[in-house]
């Protein structure tokens, strides 16, 4: 099993009223520095959202301190911390900042509040719901949509069987996705899920504000908590995480392919072109052949840049990024709901 030197990465959030976000931010930064934790923490007047890595001793102390902080005392509990094997090395540094929202949906928290959230289901309840949904969808008679509210590069390497996974690049595109696809959600029961539960808090509130769904449910604790209970359940593939690991795995399934040769592959690397921040699935064989960029445009650019000695790194979006439709219109068909999707 894990050696004692193995640290961990924690993921958590807490919605609550924060009167002085700047002060909470300073306290949080000092706490993480003191415990030698790295990672990212977002503070806002609506709460806190963080993912931090360090030694087991440090992460345990962090949880203790967070649970005793008066602001979170009656809201946050030990179970709200999701943990996975890792450590401080999983993040390049520590970033703690004050933001408008603790999860960037791009909608004023006063307009669509986390208080209007959907009905939370435990992993067990969610598992039962998905089981029922899959057997009904098999007979082509489901009134339910299993909605993945993560980004396309997350759902690509792992998702629930039979889910609807929007082809969006950022969570801030989720509201427009809902607006453009309202027909899809009419009179449906929606089962939503995301990595740790936080995107569902605002996502479900947004969906509910449209008043078209029959019911909106969300997976409490996200895929993280579901996999603890059901490592071989209805979630197949890896779980994408926003740190240097890119993914953690609960089962050996590989559900995605190398973008060059189509062989099964699910380990992301950053596009090799300096200016590009896209992730690419390219297998060892193709990488050996020099196929290391996210798209032909980047591959070309890289060759040009390599021949220009200046070496200044431009961080820009590649054409393939710009060409992606911001919000895809889903034409949902029975095949989308095909359980094997």
Q: What local confidence, expressed as pLDDT, does residue 305 receive?
A: 60
Query: Does the structure show a pLDDT above 70 at 340?
Result: no
Q: Is the pLDDT confidence value at 311 over 70?
A: no
User: What torsion do the CA atoms of 320, 322, 327, 328 make, to the nearest 10 degrees?
Assistant: -30
Q: What is the mean pLDDT of the chain?
A: 89
For 95-149, what is each residue's pLDDT tens digit? Answer: 999 999 999 999 999 899 888 999 999 999 999 999 999 998 777 778 999 999 9
In the three-class reduction of DSSP (H, G, I as helix; E, B as strand; rest coil), residue 114 is classed as helix
Contact 144, 133 (CB under 8 A): yes
Residue for token pair 């709200």:
80
Q: Parallel, antiparallel, or unpaired for β 189-193 and 144-148?
A: parallel
The H-assigned helical ranges of the chain are 21-34, 56-68, 123-138, 152-155, 174-180, 182-185, 198-209, 222-229, 284-288, 296-307, 319-323
Mean predicted confidence (pLDDT) in 22-30: 98
Q: How confident is the model at residue 306 (pLDDT cuts 50, 70, 90)?
A: low
What does the pLDDT read at residue 325? 67
**Structure-token match 């060759």, residue found:** 303
Active site residues: 194
Q: At what angle do helices 56-68 and 21-34 cross, to 10 degrees?
A: 150
Tell me the domains of the chain and their CATH numbers. Answer: 7-98 (3.30.70.100), 119-248 (3.40.250.10), 257-306+315-323 (no CATH)
Q: How far apart are CA 332 and CA 318, in angstroms?
A: 29
3 state DSSP class of 38: strand
What is the pLDDT at residue 296?
Answer: 83
Q: Single out the residue of 33, 43, 44 nearest to residue 93, CA to CA.
A: 33
pLDDT tens-digit profile of 142-182?
899 999 999 999 999 999 999 999 999 999 999 999 999 99
pLDDT, tens only, 216-273 = 999 999 999 999 999 999 999 999 999 999 999 888 899 999 999 999 999 999 998 8
Contact 184, 207 (CB under 8 A): no
At 307 the pLDDT is 54
Backbone angles phi, psi at 171, to 5 degrees: -65, -25
Q: What is the pLDDT of residue 140?
A: 74
Residue-wise pLDDT tens digits, 57-98: 999 999 999 999 999 988 999 999 999 999 999 999 999 999
Specify the pLDDT at position 1.
38
CB 148, CB 155: distance < 8 Å: yes
- Residue identified by tokens 């040769």 is 261
- pLDDT in the model for residue 124: 98
pTM (predicted TM-score): 0.88
Give the residue with greater pLDDT, 27 vs 308: 27
* Distance of alpha carbon 220 from alpha carbon 202, whole angstroms: 13
């Amino acid at each position: 099993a894990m050696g004692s030197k193995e640290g961990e990465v924690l993921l958590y959030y807490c919605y609550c009223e924060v009167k002085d976000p700047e002060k909470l931010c300073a306290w949080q930064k000092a706490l993480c520095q003191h415990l030698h934790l790295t990672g990212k923490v977002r503070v806002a007047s609506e709460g806190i959202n963080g993912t931090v890595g360090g030694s087991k001793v440090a992460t345990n102390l962090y949880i203790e301190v967070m649970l005793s902080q008066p602001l979170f005392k009656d809201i946050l509990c030990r179970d709200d911390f999701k943990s996975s094997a890792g450590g401080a090395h999983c993040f390049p540094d520590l970033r703690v900042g004050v933001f408008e929202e603790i999860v960037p949906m791009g909608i004023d928290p006063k307009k669509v509040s986390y208080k209007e959230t959907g009905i939370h289901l435990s992993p067990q309840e969610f598992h039962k719901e998905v089981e029922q949904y899959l057997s009904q969808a098999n007979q082509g008679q489901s009134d339910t949509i299993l909605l993945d509210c993560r980004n396309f590069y997350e759902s690509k390497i792992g998702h629930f069987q039979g889910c609807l996974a929007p082809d969006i690049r950022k969570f801030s595109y989720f509201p427009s996705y809902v607006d453009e696809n309202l027909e899809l959600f009419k009179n449906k029961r929606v089962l939503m899920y995301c990595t740790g539960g936080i995107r569902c808090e605002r996502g479900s509130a947004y969906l509910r504000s449209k008043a078209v769904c029959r019911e909106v449910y969300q997976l409490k604790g996200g895929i993280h908590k579901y996999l603890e209970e059901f490592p071989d359940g209805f979630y197949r593939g890896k779980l994408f995480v926003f740190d240097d690991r890119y993914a953690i795995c609960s089962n050996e399934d590989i559900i995605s392919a190398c973008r060059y040769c189509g062989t099964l592959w699910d380990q992301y690397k950053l596009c090799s072109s300096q200016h590009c921040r896209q992730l690419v699935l390219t297998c060892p064989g193709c990488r050996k052949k020099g196929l290391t960029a996210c798209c032909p445009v980047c591959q070309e650019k890289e060759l040009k840049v390599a021949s220009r000695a200046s070496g200044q790194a431009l961080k820009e979006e590649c054409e393939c990024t710009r060409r992606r439709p911001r919000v895809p219109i889903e034409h949902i068909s029975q095949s989308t709901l095909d359980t094997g999707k």
